[in-house]
């Protein structure tokens, strides 16, 4: 089990499971509330929980130990996360969770494209096929017959 805890695959699968629960819990939770306010509540919960984890595990670090470049990109990432959550909750308010979540996961396709374009990452032919299948699957799930 120790090797699983050090595996990116383990944590990525846990992330996917929690993301799935996020969609289901959020769909029920936003039933009688404004989606932006629901996102605000969710953000407060995440902030408190993560702060407790950092303090409890001794991982808190002094703010001055972080470089300006790191701050810049973490702020940009935070703004992108906030925009994503606002859009996601609004989409859940308007649509079925079973359709909204897969379309949201087009981010997988976009990360691959952005990783190649901006980070110089390389993908093999099987990787590109997988990305194509994800895109095709998203279209099929979103399609309303």
Q: Are residues 66 and 115 in the same domain?
A: no
100 within some domain? no
Residue 5 has pLDDT above 90, yes or no: no
Domain carrying residue 127: 105-145
Which pLDDT band holds residue 40 (cuts at 50, 70, 90)? very high
Total number of domains constituting the chain = 2
Q: Are residues 130 and 70 in the same domain?
A: no
Residues whose CB is less than 8 angstroms from the CB of residue 61 and which lie 6 or more positions away in sequence, other chains included: none
28 within some domain? yes
Q: Are residues 88 and 49 in the same domain?
A: yes
Q: Are residues 83 and 133 in the same domain?
A: no
Residue 1 has pLDDT above 70, yes or no: no
| Structure confidence at residue 2 (pLDDT) | 67
Give the residue-averaged pLDDT of 19-44.
93
Give the residue-averaged pLDDT of 4-11.
88
Let me know: does 100 contact 88? Beta carbons within 8 Å. Answer: yes
């Amino acid at each position: 089990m120790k090797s699983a805890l050090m595996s990116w695959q383990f944590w990525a699968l846990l992330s996917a499971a929690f993301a799935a629960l996020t969609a289901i819990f959020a769909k029920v939770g936003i039933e009688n509330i404004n989606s932006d306010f629901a996102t605000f509540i969710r953000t407060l919960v995440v902030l408190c929980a993560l702060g407790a984890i950092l303090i409890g595990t001794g991982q808190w670090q002094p703010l001055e130990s972080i470089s300006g470049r790191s701050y810049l990109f973490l702020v940009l990432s935070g703004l992108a996360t906030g925009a994503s959550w606002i859009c996601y909750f609004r989409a859940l308010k308007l649509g079925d969770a079973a359709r909204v979540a897969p379309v949201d996961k087009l981010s997988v396709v976009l990360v691959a494209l952005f990783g190649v374009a901006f980070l110089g990452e390389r993908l093999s032919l099987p990787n590109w096929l997988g990305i194509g299948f994800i895109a095709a699957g998203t279209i099929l799930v979103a399609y309303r017959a």
